[in-house]
Amino acid sequence: MDPKTLPIPALRTFSLMATVLAATVLQPGCGQSQARSDSTDTRLQVVCTTGQVGDIANRVGGEHIRVTSIMGPSVDPHLYKANSRDIDEFNRADLIFYNGLHLEGRLADLLENSTPDRPTYAVTSPLLDASPKVLRESEEFEGHYDPHVWFDPTIWVQCVQFVGERLAEHDPDNKDTYLKNAKAYSDEILNAHKRWQEQLASIEDSRRVLITAHDAFGYFGNAYDVEVRGLQGISTADETDVSTVEELIELLVSRKIKAVFVESSVSDRSVRSLIEGCQARGHTVVIGGELFSDAMGPADTPEGTYRGMMDHNVQTMLKALK
């Protein structure tokens, strides 16, 4: 086990996964998994955990694979508990991709111990040995990393390339297509990244402050020179500290910052406490909009894609902070 990954239970197979999950509290309806309806489908069956990972698989695999994403819009991966349908999907998969760095919490514990005949990959695994170092250390869990790497496109494209290589390895007949698609999608992301940099740089430095419900945007802050603060830590399982609320209220008031942001997959209760606290100090703060953090938007919408999600977030910040 890599020393930078969190300790995991000694679960060894997916059949054992099913036994363990059957004995725990399940959450029916949380995922977007769907049973394979056509037994004659010869495409590579790929199951992904989050929408962001599923987006990579769809763009790189194209017509040669069938992608199922377990976690849908508004689902918090930190707190997600797999249900029986998810286990069915995992058992039917030819390949499984997940984010890793313990984003998926208990589900990642199970995926780490999948059977050898069902290849399972954390798309962030190549980042652990990247040089120069690209991963952010987690202050909450010393020696571990912030898993929200998709918010820096220059890092995320490394995950895109990794998925392309793994698909090529398991489906050599379509190797050239996978590698070509991975390169094309990486170039597309990096071109969009340059545009987002230019747009966010138009916000006055003192106002380029992003305050959200939890610390999901650290990589975003590094990539776009944005000061980022969260009420909760990297995991939404953390409690909001009263001192953090008071500190952020002081920041908002003293620097006359006019907007804070809610997240699609996290309760807005703590963010609204900032608004109330600022109001008590005579400073008006509004909700600048809803950002996509741990989950993307609904399928068949622009926000249901990685690029659409990122563009939505950037445009929402521009409108609220300029």
What does the longest C-alpha to C-alpha distance in the chain come to?
Answer: 66
- The yes-or-no answer to whether 14-194 and 201-321 have a common fold is yes
| pTM of the complete model | 0.84
Topology classification of domain 201-321? Rossmann fold (3.40.50)
Amino acid at 197: Q
pLDDT at 108: 83
**Measured distance CA(149)–CA(168) in Å, rounded:** 23
pLDDT at 76: 87
Among 249, 296, 298, 301, which residue's Cα sits nearest to residue 275? Answer: 249
Tell me the CATH number of domain 14-194, given options 2.60.15.10, 3.20.20.120, 3.40.50.2300, 3.40.50.1980. Answer: 3.40.50.1980
**Any idea where the domains of the chain sit in the sequence?**
14-194, 201-321
Is the omega angle on the peptide bond into residue 9 within 30 degrees of 0, that is, cis?
A: no
pLDDT at 36: 45
The pLDDT averaged over each successive group of 10 residues in the chain (322 residues) is: 34 37 34 48 95 98 97 89 90 95 86 80 96 86 86 98 98 98 98 98 93 89 95 59 87 92 82 92 95 93 97 97 88
Amino acid at 46: V
Q: What is the dihedral of CA 277, 293, 303, 265, to 10 degrees?
A: -70
pLDDT at 240: 61
pLDDT at 282: 96
pLDDT at 4: 37
pLDDT at 78: 85
Among 206, 286, 274, 219, which residue's Cα sits nearest to residue 246? Answer: 274
Q: What is the dihedral of CA 100, 103, 107, 113, to 10 degrees?
A: 30
**Measured distance CA(96)–CA(294) in Å, rounded:** 19
pLDDT at 232: 74
Scanning the chain, the segments in alpha helix (DSSP H) are: 14-22, 51-61, 84-92, 106-111, 153-170, 175-200, 218-224, 242-254, 269-280, 306-321
Among 211, 190, 191, which residue's Cα sits nearest to residue 321? Answer: 211
pLDDT at 30: 37
